[in-house]
Every structure is written in C-alpha cells, then in structure tokens.
A and B are shown apart, each in its own frame.
Chain A
C-alpha cells in the first residue's frame, strides 16, 4: 500500500512538472496560440466562401462550422506533438536512464504530458472561445453543453496522448517515429473529422469513421457543439470511454514490448 501511495505521489509530481514546464515556456505557448488563431482565421474565410446552402434547409451556418473547428483544433493543439520526446530519447539513448527510475517510464511520461496538456487545454480553450466569438460574432451554438464539451475534450486529449506514446515507441523498432506519426495524424484529420464534421461524409465512410478511435478523439467533442436536440450525449461519451479503455490496454502491451526490446537489445 505505501508503494502505491508513493507511486501516486510520483505521478502527481510528474503531472505538476509538465504543468510548470508548459508555464515556463511562454514562447512555445505563443507559437501554439498563433498557429491556432491563424487556422481559425483561415477557416472563417473558407466557410464564409463555401456555399453551405447546398447542404439543404438544415445546413449549418458558417459560424456553426467555425465553432466546430474551434473545438476540434483545440484538442489537436492542446495535445501537440509529444511523441517526439520519446522518439528523441530512444534515438539518443537517454531512455536508458529513464527506464531505471522506480516509476514506470510510460506512467511518468504520460503524467508529465497530461500536466502540460491540461495547461494548454485551459489557456487555448479560453483563447479559442474568445477568438471564435469575435470571428463569428456569435456565442457557441450549444453554450449550455460547455461542461460536456470540456469533459469530452479532456477524454479526446487523453486518447491522443496514449496514441502518441505508442507512436513514440515505434522508434524502438523503426529507428524513427515521424513517418508513422504523419499517417496517424492524417487519419486523425480525415477519420476524426478535424475540418469537416463526419455528418458531411459519404454514408459508408461516415459509418466506418463514426465508431472508430479517431472520431472518439475529435468528432465526439466537436459534434457536441453542433448537437441537434435529441442527440445521445451518453452514447457519445460512452464510446469515448470505451475507446480510451481499449487504447490504454494496447498502450500497456506496446509499452511492455518496447521496454523489453530496449532492455534486451539496447538502443
């Protein structure tokens, strides 16, 4: 029992470390914020130029679409690209000393990433909401659902971080993680509905994407902001939690395989 308490304390310490490091790097925050705001400005213009009326009488407005992108991009920018840390540590050999810690490497890494991501979620959520309100001149379409959107966004980010840990570990086999990351990222953009809600997809692709892991990261929280009356919020959140559990189990398996390989063969 005392070991468990010590482990929990160490995880909390790594979480705080991530949070504090994110605060201590204002340049990184500024860069992310600028990119986030730039993409919102680009999409404001894009949706204003799009003949949305072609979707029929229930078509979303340009403002609705921008609010949707504000939520999905919020998750992408808050999670960032932390897989690079694991990739760099494997390629440089620094992971050897990190593996010697009493706290498992994966737990420490995920705790630190979670701390940083929590900070970015908070700051970028505020900035994104303010920017979208200014750019559209409207309040979010379903402002009352804000707490649910935040909860769904947090779960989405958690799934993204688990995936990124696995992608970082890929360097143990391939020597690099970046090419796999690009593919994962673009699948996330397409199957997750980063820019276009999955409701606009052809039925076959929509059916496939909507129940997949990528939709649990982006489309689930994004869809809540456009959710028409009668949408099953419990169903959306339930799917997210199920994917979180499945990907967490997969992460444990990948972590074991990667650390075993690194311990056996070195870096």
Chain B
C-alpha cells in the first residue's frame, strides 16, 4: 500500500461520506444556514459583555471572535469529514465495528468517515466570517488561521475518538462518552487564559481544549511560528495517540456478528 493509494482511499471515503451527508439537499442547506445563524447569535452574548467591560484579562471582543472561529472550524471539519467519531462508542457497543474490520484497510478511517453532518458546513462557513469580519484579521492571515484551526480540528477529532474508545474497557459508558464530549466543547468555547496554572496544564494535556481554541488563537495573535508549529505537532501526537488507543481497544473487541451486513 503506497502513500498515494492511501491518500486516494481517504479522498474517496471523504467524497462518499460528504455526498451522503448532503442528502437530502434541502435539509442539509437548512441545517447549515441555521448553524451559521446559531453561531452569530451566540456571539451576541460576547458583544454585550465587551460593551460593558473593557477587556477580559487582556482579551477583547476580537480575540473572542477569533476563538469562536477556531472552535467553529475545528468542530465543522470534524463533523463534516469525520462525523462517525460522535457515534463511535455506540457503534463499538452495538458490534458495528464488524463492518469496518471486514475491509482490507485500517478500520479507523472508515469508522470516522462513516457519517457526515451537514450542519458542520454552517460552522465551516461561519469561521472565516468570524475571523475576517468580527476579529478584523486580514486576508493575508487566512492561510495561518486555517492551518492552526485545521490542526485544532485534528486534535478535536483525535481527543473525541480517544474518549469514545473508553467503551472498549467500559461497555456501559456510552452516555459518559457523550457527556465528556459536551464538557470538552463547553470548555473550549470559553476563554481559558484566566485559569490558574494547574487547570491550564490539564487543558493542554489530558483534556486538551486549550489546543483547540486557546493555543491557535495565541499563535495568530502573537504571529508566533513556534506556537503554530506546536499546534501541528500536537495534531500529529494526538492523532497517533488516538490510533494507538483504538488499536489497544480493538484487542478487547468482541464481534457483534454483523459481518453478514457487510456489503
């Protein structure tokens, strides 16, 4: 298996996944539009906050807009391209992994790309609006913004995948996986710089929301190539960690006898 054939396979998976997610087109468009509106309305809370207060420990409305844009891009990318990650735990518990294990390639990519949520397109569309319009960043900064936000998306996908793999060891923890995911998102969309040292350490490692929102924002704010590189490094490390945890978990997987559904 060459790198070229692997890339072709991943591209084909992504194409099929997104095409399936966009059907029916009317519902997909409505979902995307309303998600865009949802993001703009949520931003109003911060507009009101900064209309009352000059800053939040040095952060202004523009920084918040950039943070929300990062989260939107990362989350949008995750649910559009790898929407299966949200349902991994349920799939594993139901024995649905059989369908992916029967294929000649590694099961993780096809499992992640087994679903696509069209609402994520609304997130992807709103991120550049937040960066350029609300945060006042220039068009020349867009490549850097997209680079670090994409790395944040990889960290998000990988972290959620690790959380969902919990059910390999705790089969009754499907609800807990969903709660952990919600907690992760909830922490990511609020500024994290006011936290103390210990909490921030936690947010950079075990519960890496800082790598999804705080560090990417700081990389652009400070125009710091080291922070941007750290983001790319974090994406590689967390992706590798997710693959490792998934493979460890697979050893404990018991077939659900759903191989007959494979086609």
| Interface of A toward B, CB cutoff 8 Å | 27-28, 30-31, 34-35, 38-39, 42, 45-46, 48-52, 54-55, 174-176, 178-180, 182-183, 185-187, 189-190, 194-196, 200-202, 205
Contact = CB atoms under 8 A, between A and B. Distances in A.
B186 A31 contact: no
A183 B38 contact: yes
Q: Which bucket holds chain B's interface residue count?
A: 35 or more
A34 B54 CA distance: 32
Nearest to A187: B41
Given A46-B190, A52-B53, A179-B119, 17 more contacts: A27-B176, A35-B179, A35-B183, A42-B186, A49-B194, A54-B54, A178-B31, A179-B35, A182-B119, A183-B37, A186-B41, A189-B41, A189-B45, A195-B45, A196-B49, A202-B48, A202-B51
B41 A183 contact: yes
Contacts of A202: 48, 51
B102 interface: no
Main SS class of interface, B: helix
B175 interface: yes
Given A180-B34, A190-B41, A196 B179 contact: no
A28 B175 contact: yes
Q: Which 3 A-B pairs have the closest CB atoms?
A: A31-B179, A179-B34, A49-B194
B237 interface: no
A174 B24 CA distance: 11
B197 interface: no
Interface in B38-70: 38, 41-42, 44-45, 48-49, 51-57
Given A42-B186, A48-B194, A31 B178 contact: yes
B63 to A, nearest CB: 13
Given A54-B54, A179-B119, A34 B183 contact: yes
A28 B55 CA distance: 37
Contact of B175 (A31, A39, A186): A31
A190 B56 contact: no
A202 B31 CA distance: 31
Contacts of B16: none
B179 A174 contact: no
B52 A175 contact: no
Contacts of B57: 49
A31 B42 contact: no
Interface in B190-212: 190-191, 194-195
Given A50-B56, A183-B38, A178 B182 contact: no
B54 A51 contact: yes
B90 interface: no
Nearest to B38: A182
Interface in B166-194: 172, 175-176, 178-179, 182-183, 186-187, 190-191, 194
12 contacts: A27-B176, A31-B178, A38-B183, A38-B187, A51-B54, A179-B38, A179-B119, A183-B34, A190-B45, A194-B45, A195-B49, A196-B48
A176 B190 CA distance: 29
Nearest to A52: B53
Contact of A54 (B48, B53, B186, B187): B53
A111 B195 CA distance: 42
B190 A42 contact: yes
A194 B48 CA distance: 12
B34 A38 contact: no
A54 B52 contact: yes
Contact of B176 (A31, A48, A174, A194): A31
A50 B51 CA distance: 13
A55 B53 CA distance: 8
A38 B186 contact: yes
Contact of B30 (A42, A179, A187): A179
A174 B38 contact: no
B36 to A, nearest CB: 10
B139 interface: no
B27 interface: yes
Contacts of B41: 183, 186-187, 189-190
B193 to A, nearest CB: 9
